[in-house]
């Protein structure tokens, strides 16, 4: 999936979402910080000086059509604030959010409602279901408030319920379902309005590990089937690496690194990121490009051929089957070779980054 999606990303057209210089400051000094020297203070310093907290600090990024864009960070890093600023559930202090070129910040409240009803849909950590409504009416809520008649919205809701695998639970109430099932309702509700962009705010962190894995696979499946643009917030690196075409890592409200999964693992920008990725099995994330060496004259030239974008793990079998070094090909030409030493080093989890 990663390979397929990154291909679309590379052929970059206009971004679906473009964020430019986004700030959110909470507290009395909300509008008195940006553009002054105070803007360079650390979070703690600013809090002490102005009793205001930086939620999001000068964030910019593009999200391409159809990609899964992951925002990752620990709690308090500002990632949830960031995603809420996108649809102005939290009003940003400064900066622009463009949806297909339209500045959401300038939308009137009616226009904003229009966007929220048709273009965005969000899935929440604590589900946010309506306990007094049946599953089908929860899923149909977004259609209901935009005025669609009962038959239409129920038909669509039923479709979505079966899409997320909840057939037969139409008439249950949310509190009769398990957590994982409730989040499937949340998913179905978001999908029901056929949005252009889906926002996920740590949707699986309240779930058990096994169910979480199922749900991640579910998202991957849905992404394949419906092909929405997705912005996914998480504090779980494995989840980010598993789902993300592009990942940004946030700390204290600012982006500390951005890139494809392999870039983060292969080349952490600072100690903070390095700490994060330390325990990631490198062979599961890095591609051959990250560990290949230049071809030397005594290398056999008839070893197996692999694309430079192949994940290391997928080349292990071939490497074991032959004594000869693997030839790494990009754009039809040989760019380097990989032999067992590099592969074993990567699997053992040390070194490997150029």
Rounded Cα distance, 250 and 236, in Å: 13
Region binding other proteins by CB under 8 A among candidate stretches 31-39, 66-74, 82-90, 273-281:
82-90
Centre a 10 Å sphere on the Cβ of residue 71 and count the other Cβ atoms it contains. 28
Q: With b meaning 16 or more CB within 10 Å and e meaning fewer, what string describes 76-111?
A: bbbbbbbbbbbbbebebbbbebbbeeeebbebeeee
Q: Which of 53, 64, 125, 287 binds other proteins (CB under 8 A)?
A: 125
Q: Which of 23, 124, 232, 276 binds other proteins (CB under 8 A)?
A: 124
- Cβ closer to other proteins: 11 or 109? 109
- Cβ closer to other proteins: 23 or 120? 120
* 120 counts as binding other proteins under rule CB under 8 A: yes
Give least dist CB 10 to other proteins, A.
Answer: 31
Rounded Cα distance, 24 and 345, in Å: 43
State the SS3 of 33-64.
CCCCHHHHCCHHHHHHHHCCEEEEEEEEEEEC
* 130 counts as binding other proteins under rule CB under 8 A: yes
Rounded Cα distance, 237 and 285, in Å: 12
With beta carbons less than 8 A apart as the criterion, state whether 76 and 28 touch. Answer: no
Rounded Cα distance, 198 and 200, in Å: 7
With beta carbons less than 8 A apart as the criterion, state whether 347 and 283 touch. Answer: yes
Q: Which of 144, 148, 196, 214 binds other proteins (CB under 8 A)?
A: 144
Give least dist CB 126 to other proteins, A.
Answer: 4
Q: What is the DSSP letter of 78?
A: S
**CB neighbour list of residue 155: distance below 8 Å, 6 or more residues apart:** none
Q: Which of 127, 232, 290, 306 binds other proteins (CB under 8 A)?
A: 127
Closest residue by Cα to residue 195 from 221, 228, 243, 159: 228
Angle at 115 between CA 246 and CA 188, to 5 degrees: 70
* 115 counts as binding other proteins under rule CB under 8 A: yes
Rounded Cα distance, 152 and 206, in Å: 32
Q: Which of 85, 94, 121, 237 binds other proteins (CB under 8 A)?
A: 121
Give least dist CB 345 to other proteins, A.
Answer: 41
Give least dist CB 91 to other proteins, A.
Answer: 12
**x-marked contacts with other proteins along 40-79 as a string, rule CB under 8 A:** ----------------------------------------
* 129 counts as binding other proteins under rule CB under 8 A: yes
* 204 counts as binding other proteins under rule CB under 8 A: no
Q: Which of 10, 132, 296, 321 binds other proteins (CB under 8 A)?
A: 132
- Cβ closer to other proteins: 1 or 130? 130
- Cβ closer to other proteins: 84 or 184? 84
Give least dist CB 142 to other proteins, A.
Answer: 4
Q: Which of 193, 249, 312, 338 binds other proteins (CB under 8 A)?
A: 193
117 burial via Cβ count (<10 Å: 0-12, 13-18, 19+): middle
* 117 counts as binding other proteins under rule CB under 8 A: yes
Give least dist CB 199 to other proteins, A.
Answer: 8
Listing DSSP states for 171-224 in one string gives: T--GGGS-HHHHHHHHHHHHHHT--SEEEEESTTTTS-HHHHHHHHHHHHHHHH
Provide the binding-site residues for other proteins, judged by CB under 8 A.
84, 87, 89, 112-118, 120-122, 124-133, 141-142, 144-146, 173, 175-176, 186, 189, 193, 199
């Amino acid at each position: 999936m990663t390979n397929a999606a990154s291909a679309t990303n590379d052929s970059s057209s206009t971004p679906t979402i473009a964020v430019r210089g986004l700030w959110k400051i909470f507290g009395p000094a909300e509008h008195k910080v940006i553009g002054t020297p105070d803007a360079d203070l650390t979070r703690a310093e600013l809090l002490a000086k102005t009793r205001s907290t930086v939620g999001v600090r000068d964030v910019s990024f593009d999200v391409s059509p159809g990609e899964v864009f992951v925002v990752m960070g620990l709690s308090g890093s500002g990632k949830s604030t960031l995603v809420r600023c996108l649809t102005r559930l939290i009003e940003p202090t400064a900066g622009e959010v463009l949806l297909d070129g339209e500045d959401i910040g300038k939308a009137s409240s009616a226009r904003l409602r229009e966007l929220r009803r048709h273009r965005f849909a969000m899935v929440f950590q604590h589900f946010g279901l309506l306990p007094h409504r049946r599953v089908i009416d929860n899923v149909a809520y977004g259609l209901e408030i935009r005025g669609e008649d009962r038959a239409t919205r129920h038909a669509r809701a039923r479709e979505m319920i079966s899409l997320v695998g909840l057939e037969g639970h139409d008439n249950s109430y949310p509190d009769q379902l398990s957590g994982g099932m409730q989040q499937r309702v949340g998913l179905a509700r978001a999908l029901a309005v056929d949005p252009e962009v889906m926002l996920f705010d740590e949707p699986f962190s309240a779930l058990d590990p096994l169910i979480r894995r199922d749900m991640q696979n579910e998202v991957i499946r849905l992404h394949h089937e419906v092909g929405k643009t997705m912005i996914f917030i998480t504090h779980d690196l494995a989840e980010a690496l598993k789902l993300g075409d592009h990942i940004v890592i946030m700390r204290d409200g600012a982006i500390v690194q951005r890139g494809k999964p392999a870039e983060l693992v292969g080349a952490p920008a600072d100690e903070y990121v390095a700490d994060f990725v330390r325990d990631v099995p490198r062979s599961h994330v890095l591609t051959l490009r990250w560990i290949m060496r230049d071809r030397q004259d005594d290398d056999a030239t008839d070893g197996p051929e692999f694309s430079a974008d192949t994940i290391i793990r997928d080349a292990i079998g071939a490497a074991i089957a032959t004594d000869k070094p693997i030839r790494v090909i990009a754009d039809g030409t040989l760019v380097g070779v990989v032999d067992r030493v590099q592969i074993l080093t990567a699997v053992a989890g040390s070194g490997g980054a150029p």
